[in-house]
Amino acid sequence: MDHIAQLPPSYRSPDPRRVLVLGATGTIGRATVRALLRRGHQVVCLVRPRAGVGGALTPDKSVELLKGATVRFGDVTDPRSLREGFRGQRFDALVSCLASRTGLPRDAWAIDHQAHVNALAAAKDSGVSQMVLLSAICVQKPLLAFQHAKLAFESILMQSGLTYSIVRPTAFFKSLSGQISRLKQGKPFVVFGDGTATACKPIGDDDLAHYLAECLDDTRRHNRILPIGGPGDAITPRQQGEHLFALLGRTPQFKHVPVALLDVVARTLGGLGRVVPSLAGKAELARIGRYYATESMLVLDPVSGRYDADATPSVGSETLFDFYARLIKGEVETERGDHAVF
Ligand SMILES: NC(=O)c1ccc[n+]([C@@H]2O[C@H](COP(=O)([O-])OP(=O)(O)OC[C@H]3O[C@@H](n4cnc5c(N)ncnc54)[C@H](OP(=O)(O)O)[C@@H]3O)[C@@H](O)[C@H]2O)c1
């Protein structure tokens, strides 16, 4: 491929390998497939026949999206289908960006945990000796079902005998961009409390993908849990809003939502959810919302119990504010997830 040939030699993997990728159709999965291909790896993706948000990707669209990789169709929740994805062939590594799209307990345990357990077994049978797992920094303080599901698999992977890299990133750009269309309509920026109680070091999709791809070769990242953020200082929600208003040429205008309101919503839905099962899911989404409204996406100091921006490694080059500028100019788009809050 021409673009690979043009890359500096240091960018290419010194040891190109055969890699099976799970979660290739997600935000970070797509970028990771591109990063792996650029590094010269041979990539096979296992995706479901209707992929993407709301099943918007037909098989042809997935093949187009993942150009340069081999795309196979299957069901990661079915151990036999997973094995068929490997087709009895030899692979060197498994890279997973697979994650429940809803974060709801049943989905999280089926995908973030069980599908990974099954994939690990199939991978071992195919000769895989290394796995790179995309996790999340928030599992360091697990209060939610999906965090426990992720941790349960992390623990299995660490005991598996495979060389592993568990990458726990901070917030993604897409998760911090949901209010732009509201602001363009003249509405205020919504913050919980005064918007300064939490902070994160956002990381760009391509920077994270590049980091994940490098984990295959960089022995300093082997057999480690790797919390990472993007470049620059930690940013609060209020600073995000202020920057967006500056880019839009508007006077900052904030709407303050008390965190206690989220508590009331979560508690009420939780109570009703015992009677009406569909409300139990909404209660979990309210708990997820409360978690992100009150916890920073930074490394947590286990002794002080405080979030520590300086202890959160910065990688990559694209900042959230670079991304906001490109988003407002229409140069990029974000794909809102199935459980977007704003
Ligand atoms: N959002 C953030 O700010 C943030 C921050 C730190 C860490 N993280 C973590 O990063 C990870 C990936 O995030 P992302 O935004 O790239 O996720 P995403 O866009 O929601 O993609 C999830 C991937 O998993 C696949 N998947 C989900 N359910 C599936 C199922 N039942 N069967 C087959 N495939 C399934 C999806 O396939 P389909 O296309 O077929 O649905 C997709 O490829 C998550 O673990 C998340 O917790 C997120």
Which pLDDT tens digits describe the chain residue by residue (342 residues)? 444 445 565 689 999 999 999 999 999 999 999 999 999 999 999 999 999 999 999 999 999 999 999 999 999 999 999 999 999 999 999 999 999 999 999 999 999 999 999 999 999 999 999 999 999 999 999 999 999 999 999 999 999 999 999 999 999 999 999 999 999 999 999 999 999 999 999 999 999 999 999 999 999 999 999 999 999 999 999 999 999 999 999 999 999 999 888 888 888 888 888 888 888 888 888 899 999 999 999 999 999 999 999 999 999 999 999 999 999 999 998 876 644 443
- Using the mean position of ligand 1's atoms as its centre, give its distance from the Cα of residue 52 in Å: 9
Report d(CA 61, CA 58) in Å as an integer. Answer: 5
Q: How far is the CA of 150 from the centre of ligand 1 (A)?
A: 12
Give the whole-angstrom CA distance, residue 124 versus residue 187: 52
In the prediction, which pLDDT does 3 show? 45
Q: How far is the CA of 109 from the centre of ligand 1 (A)?
A: 13
Asked if residue 319 lies in contact with residue 35, where contact means CB atoms within 8 angstroms, the answer is no
Half-sphere exposure of 254 (CA within 13 A, CB side): 17
SS3 165: strand
Given this model, what pLDDT does residue 112 score?
98
How much distance in Å is there from the Cα of 98 to the middle of ligand 1?
5
Structure tokens at 323: 């991304």
For atom 27 of ligand 1, the residue with the nearest CA is 100
Ligand 1 atom at minimum distance from 202 CA: 3
Specify whether the CB–CB gap between 94 and 86 falls below 8 A: no
Question: Can you tell me which residue has the tokens 């409390």?
Answer: 193
Ligand 1 atom closest to residue 135's alpha carbon, by position in its atom list: 45
pLDDT at 336: 67
Of 63, 69, 62, nearest to 41 (Cα)?
69
- d(CA 337, ligand 1 centre) in Å: 9
**DSSP β-ladder status, 307-308 and 299-300:** antiparallel
Closest residue CA from atom 17 of ligand 1:
26
Q: Which atom of ligand 1 is nearest to the CA of 98?
A: 24
Residue 96 contacts residue 21 (beta carbons within 8 Å): yes
Q: Ligand 1 pocket check: which of 101, 144, 320 to mutate, most ligand atoms within 8 Å of Cβ?
A: 101
What span, in angstroms and rounded, lies between the C-alpha atoms of 130 and 92? Answer: 7
End-to-end CA distance of the chain: 40
Best mutation site among 28, 58, 333, 335 for ligand 1, i.e. most ligand atoms within 8 A of its Cβ? 28
- Residue 251 Cα to ligand 1 midpoint, Å, equals 35
CA gap 62, 57 in Å, rounded: 6
Q: Which amino acid is at 22?
A: L
* Å from CA of 186 to ligand 1 middle: 31
Instruction: Give, for ligand 1, the residue of 20, 78, 98 to mutate: max count of ligand atoms closer than 8 Å to Cβ.
Output: 98
**Site of tokens 């497939």:** 33
Give the pLDDT confidence score for residue 9 in this predicted structure. Answer: 56
- Residue 332 neighbours by CB under 8 Å, 6+ apart: 323, 326
What is the C-alpha to C-alpha distance for residues 48 and 58, in angstroms, rounded to an integer?
9
For atom 42 of ligand 1, the residue with the nearest CA is 26
**What's the rounded Cα separation, in Å, for the pair 182 and 190?**
10
Closest CA to 148 of 160, 131, 159, 136: 136
Residues whose beta carbon lies within 6 Å of some atom of ligand 1: 23-29, 47-48, 51-52, 76-77, 97-101, 111, 134, 136, 169, 171-172, 175, 337
Nearest Cα residue to 69 out of 42, 50, 96: 42
What DSSP string runs through 34-67? HHHHHTT-EEEEEE-SSBSGGG-B-HHHHHHHTT
Nearest residue (by CA) to ligand 1, atom 18, is 26
Query: pLDDT (tens digit, 9 = 90+) per residue, 240-285?
Result: 999 999 999 999 999 999 988 888 888 888 888 888 888 888 888 8
Report in angstroms the alpha-carbon separations of 170 from 139, 184, 201, 291, 299.
11, 26, 6, 14, 9
Of 33, 201, 10, 64, nearest in space to 132 by CA: 33
C-alpha 172 to ligand 1 mean position (Å): 12
Buried b (16+ CB within 10 A) or exposed e, 86-118: beeeebbbbbbbbbbebbbbebbbebbbbbbeb
What is the pLDDT at residue 43?
Answer: 98
What local confidence, expressed as pLDDT, does residue 73 receive?
A: 98
Q: How far is the CA of 115 from the centre of ligand 1 (A)?
A: 13
Nearest alpha-carbon partner for 337 in 201, 177, 137, 199:
177
